[in-house]
Structure 1
Amino acid sequence: MRKSLFSFAQVLLTVIVVLVAAAVLWRVVSYYMFAPWTRDGRVRADVVQVAPDVSGLVTRVNVTDNAPVTHGQVLFVIDQARYSLALQEARATAAQREATLAQARREYARNRTLGELVAHETLEESLSRMQQAQASVDEAQVAIGVAQLNLDRTVIASPVDGYLNDRAPRLGEFVTAGHAVLSVVDTASFHVDGYFEETKLRHIRLGQKATIELMGESIVLHGHVRSIAAGIEDRDRDQGRNLLPDVNPAFSWVRLAQRIPVGIALDDVPAGFLMIAGRTATVSIDPPGDQPHGGGR
């Protein structure tokens, strides 16, 4: 009798252990397969490329590599001598044309006072010369504005608050208009992009809270879902010669889930926390218990 009870207890214990193991295994499988989390996350930020509007030699550099900058801070200055002379030339041309306009106005006024003593054609010619002189003066004023603008654009300032890239311009370097010289990482634009498998998207809604862990950091960040990508590229489909879809005929029996970008806005970043665009992050969507109301796309 005692042996039978011992055997029954062994069987019961074995069953309990198997059930617990199965429950744990199912929970682990469910978490890895269906829970909305991913290790494939990246810290992202807007990178603003700074390109001068005028060309010339760099005569002054106020920043260093990787330095923090503020909006409106002067980064570097381009040689202003040529643009100062262009402004003086434009002002001199304007003064000359204003003198010509004054002479044309006096001539037209004199011809009008003479009345019948001046032929009608002569009066029209003097009026035309005055109008042409006025147009020349207006053109000269525009040239002054352009010259002043070019002179002002020799001073290059930071468009945003952020950090420079790892190479500031060097003194004496020649920069060309329209070509980026440096870039600034906008600190106000830091966010995290999590690439979630499509099998987990049904658990993700706009506005849901998220937990972010950066690799190598012990501090946990918090945010919320701000966007879900509306489309991704199909690598198996191309366009043929006849503008028809060129679909890959090969088919793999093991179909991997596509990864969909989900944008996570950061709610709070501790002071002094080192945010670097491109860092690896683990993103977990919090359970829906305390989530705000909001629908998906």
Structure 2
Amino acid sequence: MSATASDKPLDNDSGNAPKDTGKRRRALVIALLVFVLAAVTWFLLWLFVFSTRETTDDAYVGGNQVGISAQVPGIVTGVFADDTQLVKAGQLLVKLDATDADVAMRRASSALAQAVRQVRQQTQSAASADAAVSARALDLKRAEQDLKRRIPLLAEKAVAPEEVQHARDAVDSARSALEAAQRQADAASALIDGSEVADNPAVEQARASFRQAWVAAQRNAIVAPVDGYVAQRSVQVGNSVQPGQQLMTVVPLHNLWVDANFKESQLRHVRIGQPAKVEADIYGGGVEFHGHVVGLGAGTGSAFSLLPAQNATGNWIKVVQRVPVRIAIDNDDLDKHPLRVGLSTNVTVTITDTSGEVLARTPNDKAVAQTTVYDDVAAKADAAADAIVKANLGAPKI
């Protein structure tokens, strides 16, 4: 009995071997199912999510930065805007001392008035010269009539030959006087022919000088060309500024965009017009900005760098390049959640619709940015010049 009992395997008595084998099989099946499910899930995510979009976090907010500079030299007498402050188009930002400009404008105003009066004088001189021509013509006619009456009397010896000769000399003298008067009249009329006093070239030249002086005087008040926020103010009261000198910057925080730097391998299906989603680090993932692709850069960032790579020299290591893709942001989103230029963002472009163009096919005929602040400057200058001309034309003669 003892020998028979000792011949049986110990595992059969405990029953652990079959149970362990079954557990391992179930574990393997479960693991296999998990891996299959994960693979299917990943495939479905790639098919319906990852393959339909391109994402990058190398993206930054961009916008127009309008530099405010002086157009005329002068001394700063007032600064009316500082960093972070909101300014409106046409609002006074910096004021320059207007003493020199006022002197120049008064000088130009006097020159314009003098030009008008000189042209009026030339007009009167031309009229006087025309009257002299008429008088010399009458003198010639009278001399010719006197000669005509004396010639028959000479045949009858009723007058002396000397008297007839004197009559001929008088005709020649009157004819010469008429020719001289005509030339003087032509010379006087040459300065005024074909134009009124206000349209005379001399008056137009003086008007242009006055217009230039008037505009220069207005430019002593430096105004904001657009709505925006002031940044980089460097001007101080008492500074002597020169034309073109940067005084401050006005940044409009409307019509912003994002420059998303995608890898070159991500651009295969990126097209103009594709929708984009932007998340700014300043607001986190809870705020989404909507936009669309408006264009792709004409070159990589390294191509336009100050020191571009020289891959034809030395050892060469391939580096994946990035191309900026511009994303226009909807202004409604910017009104709700304002952004700042230079902020970091995450951009996701939906690439399912590839019917758009990779590059623009037609040139843009609309203004990228414009202002109407300076539109009426020329009209006001012309109105001031017209007032000076009218004041010096004199009262019309009845």
- Given the superposition, is the C-alpha separation of residues 130 and 7 from structure 1 closer, same or farther in structure 2, using an over 3 Å criterion? closer
- Given the superposition, is the C-alpha separation of residues 56 and 24 from structure 1 closer, same or farther in structure 2, using an over 3 Å criterion? same
- Paired amino acid for 1:7: R
Q: Which residue of 1 aligns with 2:226?
A: 160
Q: CA deviation at 1:55?
A: 1.0
Match of 1:110 among 109, 128, 153: 128
Q: Going by fraction, where is strand more abundant, 1 or 2?
A: 1
1:247 aligns with 2:312: yes
Aligned residues: 284
1:94 aligns with 2:112: yes
Q: Secondary structure at the match of 2:95?
A: strand
1:34-183 → structure 2 map (5 Å cutoff): 36-115=54-133, 116=136, 117=177, 119=180, 120-128=182-190, 134-167=200-233, 169-183=235-249
Q: CA deviation at 1:138?
A: 2.5
Hey, what's the Cα distance between the residues in 1 that align with 2:351 and 2:121?
Answer: 83
Is the CA contact 1:60–1:77 (under 8 Å) kept in the aligned structure 2?
Answer: yes
Q: Which moved more, 1:142-151 or 1:174-183?
A: 174-183
- Given the superposition, is the C-alpha separation of residues 90 and 126 from structure 1 closer, same or farther in structure 2, using an over 3 Å criterion? same
- Paired amino acid for 2:315: A
Match of 1:4 among 14, 21, 45: 21
- Given the superposition, is the C-alpha separation of residues 29 and 248 from structure 1 closer, same or farther in structure 2, using an over 3 Å criterion? farther
Match of 1:225 among 293, 296, 312: 293
Q: CA deviation at 1:176?
A: 1.0
Q: Which residue of 2 aligns with 1:242?
A: none
Match of 1:195 among 242, 261, 267: 261
Q: Which residue of 2 aligns with 1:14?
A: 31
**Quick one: percent identity of the two aligned structures?**
25
- Given the superposition, is the C-alpha separation of residues 122 and 264 from structure 1 closer, same or farther in structure 2, using an over 3 Å criterion? same
Q: CA deviation at 1:136?
A: 2.9
- Paired amino acid for 1:69: V
Q: Which residue of 2 aligns with 1:214?
A: 280
Q: Which residue of 2 aligns with 1:264?
A: 327
Q: Secondary structure at the match of 2:236?
A: coil
Is the CA contact 1:75–1:157 (under 8 Å) kept in the aligned structure 2?
Answer: yes
Hey, what's the Cα distance between the residues in 2 that align with 1:222 and 1:34?
Answer: 17
Q: Which residue of 1 aligns with 2:150?
A: none
Q: Secondary structure at the match of 1:77?
A: strand
Hey, what's the Cα distance between the residues in 1 that align with 2:263 and 2:41?
Answer: 23
Hey, what's the Cα distance between the residues in 1 that align with 2:125 and 2:351?
Answer: 87
Is the CA contact 2:282–2:343 (under 8 Å) kept in the aligned structure 1?
Answer: no
1:276 aligns with 2:294: no
Is the CA contact 1:65–1:168 (under 8 Å) kept in the aligned structure 2?
Answer: no
- Paired amino acid for 1:285: V
Is the CA contact 1:194–1:262 (under 8 Å) kept in the aligned structure 2?
Answer: yes
Once the two structures are superposed, what CA deviation does each residue of 1:34-80 show, in whole Å capped at 9, x if it has no partner?
95101100000011111121110122222122211111111122111
Once the two structures are superposed, what CA deviation does each residue of 1:247-267 show, in whole Å capped at 9, x if it has no partner?
335332xx3321111111112
Q: Secondary structure at the match of 2:268?
A: helix
Q: Secondary structure at the match of 1:260?
A: strand
Q: Secondary structure at the match of 1:58?
A: strand
Q: Which runs of 5+ in 2 are unaligned?
A: 1-17, 137-176, 360-398
Q: CA deviation at 1:147?
A: 0.9
Q: CA deviation at 1:142?
A: 1.3
Hey, what's the Cα distance between the residues in 1 that align with 2:53 and 2:357?
Answer: 18
Q: CA deviation at 1:217?
A: 1.7
Hey, what's the Cα distance between the residues in 2 that align with 1:181 and 1:222?
Answer: 35
Hey, what's the Cα distance between the residues in 2 that align with 1:292 and 1:62?
Answer: 51
Is the CA contact 1:46–1:186 (under 8 Å) kept in the aligned structure 2?
Answer: yes
Q: CA deviation at 1:284?
A: 1.2
CA RMSD of aligned residues (A): 3.1
Is the CA contact 2:291–2:328 (under 8 Å) kept in the aligned structure 1?
Answer: yes
Q: Secondary structure at the match of 2:90?
A: coil
- Given the superposition, is the C-alpha separation of residues 287 and 109 from structure 1 closer, same or farther in structure 2, using an over 3 Å criterion? closer
Is the CA contact 1:211–1:283 (under 8 Å) kept in the aligned structure 2?
Answer: yes
